[in-house]
Amino acid sequence: MDADATRGRVLLEESRESVVVLDAYDRVIGASRRARQSIDGLREGARIPEGLLSGDAGIIPLVVPYDVDGRRERLVYLSRGGDLTAYEELRTGFTAAVSHELRTPLARLLSLLELASLPGEDVPGLVEQARGEVGQIRELIDEVLFLSELESGSRVVSLGAVAVLPELEAVALEFEERAGRAGVALAVEGDAGIALEIRPRMLRVVAQNLAENAIRYAGPGATFVLAVEREGDEVTLRGTDDGVGVDETELGRLFERFFRADRARASRGTGLGLAIVKHIVTQAGGTVDARGGRGAGLEIRCAFPAPAGR
């Protein structure tokens, strides 16, 4: 029974939908993270906010009644009228963007293969370049699939607490050689006692994408620092570099899929790394933002709720 209750709590908490559990008197017994984040006034033990069950608040309820130990309860799915249309528009745009991003490496690959068939060409060198294009295509497909799994909810982001600093140190060690080739120095800072309620794999993905972004775009001579600190009720993970930075007008767009700032447009990056960071952080109940400016470096700040009792 305890195992079933734990599974039930995890399923409710990690639901991609806004889901609320009510008792017979419309009091909130439990709610998914998405419901708590998107619905004002939703508190466990209090009555559900006025208008949510009637649809007057612009939210459409789907009510599923059931009995538990003789008690009447209801599972309520809450969605906005435009959610489905918005989702379809997003899916169509995402498909078009993926198709566009795949065309460039595929065109380069075809050109290399055609060159390799001509007499006098450096075939081994062209084959090596072709391998690089195949790697670029593979990286794009892997990141698209990973982002899709995050959005579908098939990858659970939060499940238990994990010490942050060891994961950041492991990522810095992993990227040390690559950063050296790019002329970027890596450093890690923070308190070893700080923990987050996030799966270690997801924490590493966040740190890896922050480090990779700096290595690709900060420029030779830059220093990139992964740092974690406790700030009141939040744990803040920062990825900061003192490199070339981006225009302040572009900071808000860095987390869009496939968006690349001017200097990054010639890069072989997929344009999905920071979108993945944002998705993981928000699914873990946190927020993410970018700070900096042209010539002033770049800071990506990920703020998570601190684990209770830590």
Span of 29-38, 45-54, 156-165 with lowest mean pLDDT = 156-165
Q: Across 2-11, 147-156, 211-220, which has the greatest mean pLDDT?
A: 211-220
Lowest mean pLDDT among 19-28, 113-122, 146-155, 170-179: 146-155
Spatial contact of 274 and 258, defined as CB atoms under 8 Å apart:
no
pLDDT at residue 202, rounded to an integer: 82
Comparing 308 with 152, which gets the higher pLDDT? 308
Output the CATH code of domain 83-152.
Answer: 1.10.287.130
Compute the distance between CA of residue 254 and CA of residue 276 in angstroms, rounded to an integer.
Answer: 11
8 A C-beta contact, residue 247 and residue 294: yes
Domains 2-80 and 83-152 share a fold: no
Considering the four listed CATH numbers 3.30.1360.30, 3.30.450.20, 3.30.565.10, 3.40.720.10, the one that applies to the domain covering 2-80 is: 3.30.450.20
Q: How far apart are CA 16 and CA 153, in angstroms?
A: 6
Q: Tell me which CATH homologous superfamily contains domain 161-305.
A: Histidine kinase-like ATPase, C-terminal domain (3.30.565.10)
Alpha helices for 183-227 (secondary structure H): 200-217
Q: Does position 269 have pLDDT exceeding 80, yes or no?
A: no
**Separation between Cα atoms, residue 58 and residue 65, nearest integer Å:** 22
pTM over 0.85: no
Is the confidence at residue 6, as pLDDT, over 70?
Answer: no
Side chain identity at 69, as an amino acid letter? Answer: D
Q: Where do the domains of the chain lie?
A: 2-80, 83-152, 161-305
Task: Report the pLDDT value the prediction gives residue 41, as an integer from 0 to 100.
Answer: 81
Q: What confidence category does residue 179 fall into, taking pLDDT thresholds of 50, 70 and 90?
A: very high
pLDDT tens string 68-91? 777 888 888 877 655 545 445 445
